[in-house]
Every structure is written in structure tokens, then in C-alpha cells.
Amino acid sequence: MIHPEHIEKHFTASEMVRDIVIGMADGLTVPFALAAGLSGAVEATQIIITAGLAEVAAGSIAMGLGGYLAAKTDAEHYASEKYREEREVVELPEVEAAEVAEVFRGYGLPDDQIEKIVDSLRKDPVKWVDFMMKFELGLEAPDPKRARTSAFTIAVSYIVGGMVPLTPYFFAATARQGLMISAAVTLLALLVFGYIKGRYTTSHPFRSAWQTVVVGGLAATAAFTIAKLFG
Amino acid sequence: MIHPEHIEKHFTASEMVRDIVIGMADGLTVPFALAAGLSGAVEATQIIITAGLAEVAAGSIAMGLGGYLAAKTDAEHYASEKYREEREVVELPEVEAAEVAEVFRGYGLPDDQIEKIVDSLRKDPVKWVDFMMKFELGLEAPDPKRARTSAFTIAVSYIVGGMVPLTPYFFAATARQGLMISAAVTLLALLVFGYIKGRYTTSHPFRSAWQTVVVGGLAATAAFTIAKLFG
């Protein structure tokens, strides 16, 4: 058994988590940094809120729709490579057979065994193509529903993330006050987010937590400096 | 032969191209949309330039450093999974042997052949682990230099992309005039970028071109609408 529950978990959880991480990491960081940057250059919270919300709208669409198109492109790439392999096992079976043999030679299998494997695969062209897709090209059949789910997850995560640093400015009297509350709230959110992300993706959740905070802090510092220079 | 030059090209070109595409797609789109959005809400090009540059600074750091950490995490994930497989082939060789057999059973190989393959692999634990990494888990050994290159490529592409829509505002007399030139220049850049991206990643470069323009246009429209409502 290939531990189906393990693989299942690996695939679905990690792709969904990855999309949330992609959207939320940028959603927490970029609008926070933009708002922080503008706080160093303008007085009115109104402008910061306007710019921040415009960024969240633009960023969520760019990332979500971008993710959608990228997933669609992956699916097409898979289909076109598969079509090519399907033609090749018919038109150039000797070349393809040699490619299979090469894969196994790399793992130290003796030639007489390799020959038998190749013969077995040649008897079933459908499985032969599947084999070439996975073992020669390293491509997995993409989930057709994934593009839409992925786009939606990334966009929503970006919006949710982006509202965390912007909300304090709605209630702040001055840009400076907004920045203070926004920085406190966002750094806390980045810590929690980095920790949870780390729990899913590494064995070092605390390191992940401070790394996420450092990225957000650096982005905000760069934006603040640039805005001070040009504002 | 597995056409080494073909695989080589596939891997290096596509990872570099993918990083440029990731950085430039968002760099062209988000600063353009943010600047366009603010043009609907404020008069002074100064504020638009400040916000745009702050966004480019924040976005390039968030994406570049985010990409760096993601690549590092992938490398660690690979190392920890490899360590687990290395332990398992020693501690649970029967389970691992059954997993190898299961992989080949899926491709319709007869049991007596599978047995011989498993025996061959068991003789060389290093290759056996390599085999499990690729064939059971579908993981490729990551390039250790990739994290840094990837971060740098994404960040620079974001900055280059982001300066395209912002530059017109430096020379425009009013926000409205800046928006007109920025929109014209950026839509043209998105067309060219989408076409070139499409040449590398799909067989439909013209479709890729207009899709890229649609994403940029939608993001800008959303940002403009939001900024009008709140500005």
C-alpha cells in the first residue's frame, strides 16, 4: 500500500494551504507596507485608505486571476505533452522504449530486467504514455477543478489579509496613529500566520513566524523610506 | 537517450521564465491598477507616484523574499522526506518494497517482473531512496542555488514591470493625463509581455496576450471603482 490517506492529505491539504499562504502572505504584507509607507508621506488617513483598498482590489484580482490562468496553462501543458507522447509511442516506439530503459538504467537495474519491463509497457500503450508522463517528464495529471478553486482561495485570502492592516486607519484620527495600531495588529497577525504556515510546511513553526514578520517589516520599511524620499 | 538537451532546456528555461513571469505579471498589473485607481480619486501626480513607488518597493520585497523562503521550505521538505525514506528502507524494508511493487502494478507489470525489480532496488539503498523520492512522492531534488536566484529574478522583474506604468506620471501635468499615457503604455506592455509569456508556456501566444491585458484591465477597473467610492 502507498498509504493512500497520507498521499491524499499531502495533495489536497497542501495545495489549499499553499493557496491560502500565497494569498495571505502578500495580502498581509503589501497593503500593510503601502499604508505604512504613505503614513510617512501624507497626513490624511483618507488617502491611505483609498490607496490601500485600491491595492487590495488590484492585488486580489491580479493574484487570483493570475493563479487561475497559470493553473489553466499547466493543464494545457500537460494535455499537449500527453498528446506528444501518445504520438511518439506510435510513431517512434523504439525511441520511447529506449527512454524507458534509460530511466531504469539510472536506478541500477540489469539490462535483461529492463528489457522485460519495456516489453510489458509496450503491450499497453495507455499505461506506457502514463508512465512516460510521470517518470520521464515528471508531470502529474492536473485536477480540472483546481484552477477555479485556486483562484478563488488566493483572491479571498489576499482580501482577508489586506483588511487586517487597513482596518485601523478607518478608526484612527491621524495617519501616524493609524500606522501605530496597524503595525501592532499586523505584526501580531504576521506572527500568528507565520507560525501556522510553519506548522503546515516545515518543522520549524517559530522560525517561520519570525521570518514572516521580518518580510513584512522589511517591506514596510522599504515602502516607508521610498515614500519619505518621494512624498 | 532521454534527450538531455531537451530536459535541460525544459528545467532551466522554464524556472527562470516562470520567475520572470511571476514578478513581471504582478509588477505590470498591480502598480498600474493602483496608480489608475488613485487617478480617479486624487488630483496630484505626486501622491500617485509616492504610492506607486511604495507599492513597488513593498511588492518586490514581499514577492522576492517570499519566493526565497518558499524555495528554502521546498528544499527542507525534500530533505526531511528523504531522511524519512532513508530510515524507512532500513527499518521497514518490507513496507517500502511493497510500495515499489504497488507503483509498478499500477502500470500493469506482471508480479514476477515486479519481484525482480524490487530485488534489484533493494541491493542499492541509495538508488532505492532516490527511486521512492521520485516515483512514490513525486519530489525532485531542488537546486540549492535556486532560492536566491529565484528571489532576485522575481524582485527585479517586479520592479522593472512596476516602473512601466509609473514612469508616465513623472512627466504628466495632471493625474488624468498620467493615467491616459500610463494606460496606453501599460496595455501595450501587457500585450507584448502576454504574447512572449504565451510563446514560452503555451501554444496560444495571442490568447495569452489578450488574457494578460484583461487581467490588467480588470484589476485597474476594480481599483479605480474602489478608489472612486472611498476617495
* DSSP character string of A78-135: HHHHHHHHHHHHHH-HHHHHHHHHHHHHTTT--HHHHHHHHHHHHH-HHHHHHHIIII
Tell me whether residues A231 and B50 touch, CB distance under 8 A: yes
C-alpha grid cell for residue B129? 531512496
A207 interfacial to chain B (CB closer than 8 Å): no
Chain A nearest CA to B149, separation (Å): 17
Q: What is the pLDDT of residues A152-174, one digit of tens each?
A: 999 999 999 999 999 999 999 99
pTM, entire model: 0.83
The span from the CA of B209 to the CA of B217, in Å, is 12
- Of the candidates A200, A222, A118, which has an alpha carbon nearest to the alpha carbon of residue B113? A118
ipTM of the complex in this document: 0.82
The span from the CA of A197 to the CA of A176, in Å, is 30
- Of the candidates A19, A15, A18, which has an alpha carbon nearest to the alpha carbon of residue A142? A15
- Among B57, B98, B138, the residue with its CB nearest the CB of A226 is B57
- Of the candidates A137, A4, A161, A58, which has an alpha carbon nearest to the alpha carbon of residue B10? A137
- The span from the first CA to the last CA of chain A, in angstroms, equals 62
Tell me whether residues B58 and A38 touch, CB distance under 8 A: no
Using an 8 Å Cβ cutoff, are B49 and B180 in contact? Answer: no
The span from the CA of B53 to the CA of A177, in Å, is 23
- Of the candidates A82, A34, A64, which has an alpha carbon nearest to the alpha carbon of residue A178? A34
Q: What is the pLDDT of residues A170-196, one digit of tens each?
A: 999 999 999 999 999 999 999 999 998
Instruction: Please report the number of interchain residue pairs, chain A to chain B, with beta-carbon separation below 8 angstroms.
Output: 240
A171 HSE (CA, 13 A, CB side)? 7
The pLDDT value recorded for residue A203 is: 75
Whether the CA torsion B140, B143, B147, B152 is positive or negative: it is negative
The span from the CA of B208 to the CA of B25, in Å, is 12
Q: What is the pLDDT of residues A115-128, one digit of tens each?
A: 888 888 888 888 88
- φ/ψ of B165, rounded to 5, equals -70, -20
The pLDDT value recorded for residue B13 is: 60
Selected for mutation to probe chain B from A107, A196, A200 (highest B CB count within 10 Å) is A107
The pLDDT value recorded for residue A8 is: 38
Look at A191 and A201; give whichever has higher pLDDT. Answer: A191
Would you say residue B3 has pLDDT above 60? Answer: no
- Among B102, B134, B219, the residue with its CB nearest the CB of A61 is B219
Tell me whether residues B30 and A134 touch, CB distance under 8 A: no
